[in-house]
């Protein structure tokens, strides 16, 4: 889950509706500023829905996914 959270956060920042994007890109860092272009106010409802769904996905569905991955031979050593 840690390996996918950083790329998914980057993808979310890329696809979020925005306007007036300005940015500075340097060798090791990037700084972007933008105004949210969200006339229908879907960003707030999407945020609330994702916060509500996260515990179910992590604690309800997560153990079954990990069990299936371990059963197929995928093991990740993090220590």
pTM, 2 dp: 0.48
Q: Got the DSSP string for 4-49? A: HHHHHHHHHHHHS-EEEEEEEE-SS-EEEEEEE--TT-HHHHHHHH
Residue 79 has pLDDT above 70, yes or no: no
Q: What is the pLDDT of residues 18-43, one digit of tens each?
A: 777 777 888 888 777 777 777 777 87
Tally of CA atoms within 13 A in the half-sphere of 79 that contains its CB:
0
Instruction: Render pLDDT for 58-76 as a digit per residue (tens, 0 to 9).
Output: 899 989 988 998 899 888 7
> How many C-beta atoms surround the C-beta of residue 16 within 10 A?
13
């Amino acid at each position: 889950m840690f390996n996918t959270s950083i790329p998914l956060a980057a993808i979310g920042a890329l696809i979020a509706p925005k306007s007036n994007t300005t940015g500075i890109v340097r060798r090791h860092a990037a700084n972007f500023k933008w105004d949210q272009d969200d006339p229908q106010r879907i960003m707030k409802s999407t945020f609330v829905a994702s916060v509500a769904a996260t515990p179910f996905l992590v604690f309800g569905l997560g153990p079954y996914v990990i069990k299936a991955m371990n059963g197929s031979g995928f093991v990740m050593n993090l220590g």
